[in-house]
């Protein structure tokens, strides 16, 4: 083990060591992208951390980790990484989380000895692996974006273009297996990278399903065997003794474990979870230069034309200007432009036109060549990693996997970079749902480009009070008028229908503490619409809503069903009647039979 530093703790009362930590400087470690962004960045890795059992819970481990962080900072590294096998005791993972480490990814791992011979017996058929070529750029980009949707597509493009360069072929390679009948539809794909003098790693390992189940499984095994054989031959030629590959357990759409059949010689290793902790403040942002940011912001606010923006870009990055003017499909961002006339648009136009077959093929091939040249030119530009990945290189919305902006598992560096993109000014609403990460949400809310957001919605997630205060801060969302904090509710038994006004099960988004924070915040005076249904709020919430001077500007309120059920039915109905009288038609479900019955039983019609 190449140890970069080793620290020990000695006790004055006990002979010998109380604890030890060993670190090493690595050119790359799994999880380092959490704070440094996608790619291979140098980092420090925690190779060993040991505390004597009799000295545990006395601060020894924390002292060792502080020393490790000091060494990481002294080396000028941004991230300290660590990993824990799932078979190990839970105490290791708990200690890392308690010391500020963030869980990045959990992977299933497999390895194979290269010296064992071919991966599987070859059968004479049309399945043959070939090296990656420039003609495969678009298809390989789609496969990479599918395999690692957390990373920008532009980063995948830059990596693919580097893979095709001559100087990279000594340490990296890619292999394709073409489909028999369909162009640009490979049966298999993989990349292999030399990680150490005796170790090669297989990445983006994919075998694609066939339509007919009768031939699917045996043919898929032959496809994976051919891909493994090609990677193994490449590794053997470079003196490697082992092949290593891994799979993110969260990527379940097409699990790799089915392709790594035992007959291919792979053995499973213990599942491992990778952690990362930021050691130094992040470097200054290398996003769009200030003149372009100002011009882009002015355009997005309607004070400048697209031509002015393109002229500014031509001065700094002509490749980026060419991509904007001809190859961005999402033209709703630039409403003063007609339908795009670039290569991708011509491809689809020729594909659906009534031309002769030969003319269509020739035109399609020419357009594809032009598109590939544009991709390569853009990938060589320093702007390739600074532009909005959602607006580049996408000719079909189905090519990208839709994910929330702050989904659990999204790298912190990606959210930080997103928060500094001026293209966020096009958003007028924010919605947080599904695998929500509160820390990432607060990172996104630091963006200075959320000035046009008028509505924020937290859908079936548990939001923190601190995040709620940031959402209500006029300096963060200056135009916010709508806040949707509805939870979810229903019957506990699907065979029974519960009363609409009193659901059996409620999954709350906020509590009474959150509601009091909203009522006490001066920024709430801007709110005109508020939704708090299905949050199991007590009857005291009515006083909080009606007595707050900051909520007198509300025009509509959605508070039923799913609230005020803690006491008697009569008390719940009285609370609903008070709110209905205050908001009138603006009260959710005001005209329903239940709300009208509450009004008749507790004080008559509304004040509106």
Residue range 497-513, pLDDT digits in tens: 556 667 777 888 999 99
pLDDT at 468: 94
Q: Kindly indicate the confidence band of residue 450, based on its pLDDT and cuts at 50, 70 and 90.
A: confident
pLDDT at 182: 52
Percent of the chain past pLDDT 70, that is, above it, reads 63
291 or 240: which carries more pLDDT confidence? Answer: 240
pLDDT at 306: 45
- Among 106-115, 139-148, 372-381, 599-608, the range scoring the smallest mean pLDDT is 372-381
pLDDT at 481: 94
How many CA atoms are closer than 13 Å to the CA of 289, on its beta-carbon side? 10
Is residue 166 scored above 80 in pLDDT?
A: no
pLDDT at 530: 94
* pLDDT per position as a tens digit, 293-321: 222 333 333 333 445 545 655 655 455 45
Quick one: average pLDDT of 446-466? 86
pLDDT at 117: 53
CATH of domain 5-107: 3.40.630.30
Q: Which residues contact 575 (CB under 8 A, 6 or more apart)?
A: 539, 541, 542, 563, 564
Q: Kindly indicate the confidence band of residue 347, based on its pLDDT and cuts at 50, 70 and 90.
A: very low
- Of 454, 153, 447, 444, whose CA–CA distance to 297 is shortest? 447
Q: Are 347 and 368 in contact (CB under 8 A)?
A: yes
118 or 276: which carries more pLDDT confidence? Answer: 276
CA distance 202 to 265: 14
- Among 15-24, 144-153, 266-275, 398-407, the range scoring the smallest mean pLDDT is 398-407
Parts of the chain belonging to CATH 3.80.10: 454-601
CA distance 433 to 408: 10
Is residue 65 scored above 80 in pLDDT?
A: yes
Domain 454-601: top CATH class: alpha beta
399 or 602: which carries more pLDDT confidence? Answer: 602
- Among 108-122, 320-334, 451-465, 472-486, the range scoring the smallest mean pLDDT is 320-334
CATH of 120-262, one of 3.30.420.40, 3.40.50.720, 3.40.50.360, 3.40.630.30: 3.40.630.30
- Answer left, alpha or beta for residue 14, where phi above 0 means left and psi between -120 and 50 means alpha: beta
- Among 114-118, 198-202, 386-390, the range scoring the smallest mean pLDDT is 386-390
Quick one: average pLDDT of 280-299? 37
Quick one: average pLDDT of 342-363? 52
Q: Which residues contact 123 (CB under 8 A, 6 or more apart)?
A: 222
CA distance 12 to 18: 10
Supply angle C-alpha 366, 367, 370, rounded to 5. Answer: 90
pLDDT at 216: 54
pLDDT at 2: 47
- Of 371, 378, 411, whose CA–CA distance to 152 is shortest? 411
pLDDT at 467: 93
pLDDT at 287: 39
Q: Kindly indicate the confidence band of residue 251, based on its pLDDT and cuts at 50, 70 and 90.
A: low
* pLDDT per position as a tens digit, 199-212: 888 888 776 544 44
pLDDT at 213: 43
pLDDT at 473: 93
SS3 of 581-593: HHHHHHECCCCCH
- Give the mean pLDDT of the chain: 72
588 or 405: which carries more pLDDT confidence? Answer: 588
Parts of the chain belonging to CATH 3.40.630.30: 5-107, 120-262
Any bridge partners for residue 174, and if so which? 191
pLDDT at 128: 81
242 or 565: which carries more pLDDT confidence? Answer: 242
Q: Are 231 and 207 in contact (CB under 8 A)?
A: no
pLDDT at 172: 86
* pLDDT per position as a tens digit, 428-443: 888 887 667 888 888 8
């Amino acid at each position: 083990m190449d140890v970069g530093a080793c620290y020990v703790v000695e006790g004055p009362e006990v002979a010998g060591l109380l604890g030890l930590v060993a670190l090493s400087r690595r050119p790359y470690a799994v999880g380092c992208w959490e704070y440094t962004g996608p790619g291979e960045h140098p980092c420090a890795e925690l190779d060993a951390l040991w505390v004597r059992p009799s000295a545990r819970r006395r601060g020894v481990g924390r002292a060792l980790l502080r020393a490790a962080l000091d060494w990481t900072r002294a080396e000028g590294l941004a991230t300290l990484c660590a990993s824990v096998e799932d078979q190990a005791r839970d105490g290791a993972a708990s200690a890392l989380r308690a010391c500020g480490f963030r869980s990045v990814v959990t992977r299933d791992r497999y390895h194979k000895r290269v010296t064992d011979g071919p991966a599987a017996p070859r059968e004479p058929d049309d399945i043959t692996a070939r090296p990656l070529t420039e003609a495969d750029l678009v298809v390989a980009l789609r496969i990479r974006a599918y395999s690692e949707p957390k990373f920008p597509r532009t980063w995948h493009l830059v990596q693919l273009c580097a893979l095709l360069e001559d100087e990279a072929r000594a340490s990296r390679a890619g292999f394709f297996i073409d489909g028999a009948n369909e162009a640009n539809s490979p049966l298999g794909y993989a990349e292999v990278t030399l990680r150490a003098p005796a170790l090669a790693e297989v990445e983006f390992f994919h075998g694609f399903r066939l339509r007919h189940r009768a031939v699917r499984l045996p043919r898929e095994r032959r496809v994976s065997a051919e891909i493994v054989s090609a990677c193994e031959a490449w590794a053997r030629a470079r003196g490697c003794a082992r092949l290593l590959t891994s799979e993110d357990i969260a990527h379940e759409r097409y699990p790799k474990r089915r392709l790594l059949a035992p007959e291919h010689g792979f053995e499973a290793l213990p599942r491992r979870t990778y952690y990362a902790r930021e050691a130094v403040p992040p470097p200054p942002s290398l996003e769009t230069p200030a003149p372009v940011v100002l011009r882009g912001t002015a355009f997005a606010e309607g004070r400048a034309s697209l031509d002015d923006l393109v002229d500014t870009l031509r001065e700094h990055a002509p490749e980026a200007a060419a991509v904007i003017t001809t190859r961005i499909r999402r033209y709703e961002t630039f409403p003063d432009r007609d339908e795009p006339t670039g290569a991708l648009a011509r491809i689809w136009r020729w594909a659906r036109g009534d031309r002769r077959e030969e003319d269509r093929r020739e035109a399609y091939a020419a357009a594809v060549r032009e598109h590939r040249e544009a991709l390569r030119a853009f990938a060589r530009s320093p702007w390739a990693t600074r532009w909005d990945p959602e607006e580049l290189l996408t000719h079909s919305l189905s090519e990208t996997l839709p994910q929330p902006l702050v989904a659990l598992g999204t790298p912190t560096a990606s959210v930080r970079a997103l928060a500094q993109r001026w293209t966020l000014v096009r958003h007028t609403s924010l919605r947080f749902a599904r695998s929500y990460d509160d820390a990432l949400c607060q990172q996104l809310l630091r963006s200075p480009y959320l000035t046009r957001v008028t509505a924020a919605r937290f859908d079936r997630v548990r939001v923190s009070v601190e995040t709620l205060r940031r959402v209500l801060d006029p300096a963060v969302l200056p135009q916010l008028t709508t806040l949707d904090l509805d939870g979810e509710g229903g019957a506990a038994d699907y065979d029974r229908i519960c009363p609409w006004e009193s659901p059996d099960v409620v999954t709350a988004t906020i509590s009474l503490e959150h509601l009091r924070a909203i009522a006490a915040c001066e920024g709430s005076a801007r709110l005109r619409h508020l939704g708090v249904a299905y949050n199991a709020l007590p009857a005291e919430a009515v006083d909080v809503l009606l007595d707050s001077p900051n909520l007198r500007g509300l025009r509509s309120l959605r508070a039923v069903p799913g609230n005020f059920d803690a006491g008697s039915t009569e008390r719940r109905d009285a609370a609903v009647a008070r709110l209905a009288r205050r908001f009138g038609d603006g009260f959710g479900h005001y005209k329903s039979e239940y709300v009208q019955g509450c009004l008749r039983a507790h004080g008559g019609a509304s004040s509106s």
